[in-house]
Structure 1
Amino acid sequence: MNELDGKLDPKGIALRREVLGDTYVDNSLDGSDEFSWPLQELVTSHCWSDLWARPGLPIATRSLVVVAMLTALNRPHELRTHLRGALNNGCSAEEIREVLLQSAGYCGFPAALDGFRVAREVFAEEGIEFPKV
């Protein structure tokens, strides 16, 4: 736990840590300064406490939705983070693959290709392997 946690919404920071992991969250908080700190507060309270903690969807489903949206928006840095979050939330590599395949039809093949590229890098880092075809 980071000493800055006490300055953030408690429900939001706990869920943020659960999904993204302590190392990622600590790095985000430690890398903040007076200029960027207000964004940490907004992300933690509005995104994590107000949205991620809502009861309407299971957390794994939320992760898959976020993977799809980040693929559509072509945000590889955040996609990498949320692919790890999806794995932390119990999503399988196969489920993630299906979301990325679905994105090809709705976001375009370049977005899906980039999504697959980032996912393969994350899977390799996490020790998830697929046999060669």
Structure 2
Amino acid sequence: MIKDSQYDAGLELRRHMFGAAGAEDQVENTTDLNDKMQEVVTRYCFGDIWQREGLDRKTRSLVTLAMLVATGRSHEIRIHLRGGIANGLTEEEIRELMLHSFLYCGIPAAMDGFRAAEEILAESRETANA
């Protein structure tokens, strides 16, 4: 793996959005099969594209969630809901994004998004109340 300032910035953003489980744990538990993918995600996704000016992190989270709903990526929706909450998304914004998605993605995709949102928002509330 190439570790440089771009990689470090990506790891720091992953840590902010997803905690240690989505940052160090992911990187430290790579295998020969997936180590290059973890490097790509850390360096280019979070160390480059997510760091660009033009869109703030909250907006990037909304855009990312919309694309994940549209493509039916339930596992990634859950991950990015956690990241979106860390980036300042409110429950109302998440609800409106999911509701809006049914117009353009269809009811089944929107319902998958709502199910994921219910789960992650409940988890977030429990953490906040602990």
Find the residue that maps to 2:52 and give its secondary structure.
Answer: coil
Unaligned segments of structure 1, at least 5 residues: 129-133
Post-superposition offset of 1:7: 3.3
1:23-79 deviations in Å (ceiling 9; x for gaps): 222332233111100000111111112210001011101001111111111111111
Distance in 2 between residues matched to 1:31 and 1:105, nearest whole Å = 39
Query: Which residue in the other structure is 1:89 paired with?
Result: 87
Distance in 1 between residues matched to 2:26 and 2:106, nearest whole Å = 31
Query: Which residue in the other structure is 1:23 paired with?
Result: 21
Please list, as runs of the form range in 1=range in 2, the aligned pairs for 1:112-127 lying within 5 A after superposition: 112-127=110-125
The verdict on how the C-alpha distance between 1:10 and 1:30 changes in structure 2, with shifts beyond 3 A counting, is: closer
| 1:7 to 2:3 alignment | yes
Query: Which residue in the other structure is 2:64 paired with?
Result: 66
Distance in 2 between residues matched to 1:26 and 1:94, nearest whole Å = 31
1:70-100 deviations in Å (ceiling 9; x for gaps): 1111111111010011111111011011111
Find the residue that maps to 1:64 and give its secondary structure.
Answer: helix
Distance in 2 between residues matched to 1:13 and 1:64, nearest whole Å = 21
RMSD, aligned CA: 1.7
Q: With the length of structure 2 as denominator, give the TM-score of the two structures.
A: 0.88
Find the residue that maps to 2:116 and give its secondary structure.
Answer: helix
Letter in 2 for 1:11: A
Q: With the length of structure 1 as denominator, give the TM-score of the two structures.
A: 0.86
Distance in 1 between residues matched to 2:43 and 2:24, nearest whole Å = 16
| Mapped contact 2:11–2:24 kept (Cα < 8 A) | no
Query: Which residue in the other structure is 1:57 paired with?
Result: 55
Query: Which residue in the other structure is 1:131 paired with?
Result: none
Percent identity between matched residues is: 45
| Mapped contact 2:14–2:42 kept (Cα < 8 A) | yes
Unaligned segments of structure 2, at least 5 residues: none
Find the residue that maps to 1:35 and give its secondary structure.
Answer: coil
Find the residue that maps to 1:56 and give its secondary structure.
Answer: coil
How many residue pairs were aligned?
A: 124
Letter in 2 for 1:55: E
Find the residue that maps to 1:90 and give its secondary structure.
Answer: coil
